[in-house]
Amino acid sequence: MTMTRQIKHAKFQIGQVVSHKIFAFRGVIFDVDPEFSNTEEWYQSIPEDIRPRRDQPFYHLLAENSESEYVAYVSEQNLIPDTTGAPLRHPQIKNMFDQGEGGVYRVKRTNFN
């Protein structure tokens, strides 16, 4: 009997603004991995009681909290749509995105897309 892997579909999309369910930060998605694709050291650094499953989409965010801006790697189970409509201040956003309608950012057009 052959086992087939179930294909995971990402709940969120590139350009969507999301918030973390546990920690006070939000950000815009700029890439998606269909399942965990970071280092084992990174994974083990997450406290076991809140460590997410590996078999779900993980999102790369241009993230920010009240003190700083950074890049975050977050599991789908820990994200919710951000409905505040407040603009993000992350300095890299303007390099990757144009501000879109309804709080969604559009990937900037280049000569390659």
Can you tell me the distance from the alpha carbon of 92 to that of 95, in angstroms, rounded to the nearest whole number? 5
C-alpha triplet 76, 78, 81: angle, nearest 5° = 75
Alpha-carbon distance of 36 to 2, in angstroms, equals 23
Cα separation, 64 vs 79, in Å, equals: 14
pLDDT digits (tens, 9 = 90+) for 44-101: 999 999 999 999 999 999 999 999 999 999 999 999 999 998 989 999 999 999 987 7
In the chain, which ranges are continuous DSSP H helix?
40-44, 93-96
Return the structure tokens found at 113: 């897309």
Prediction pTM value: 0.87
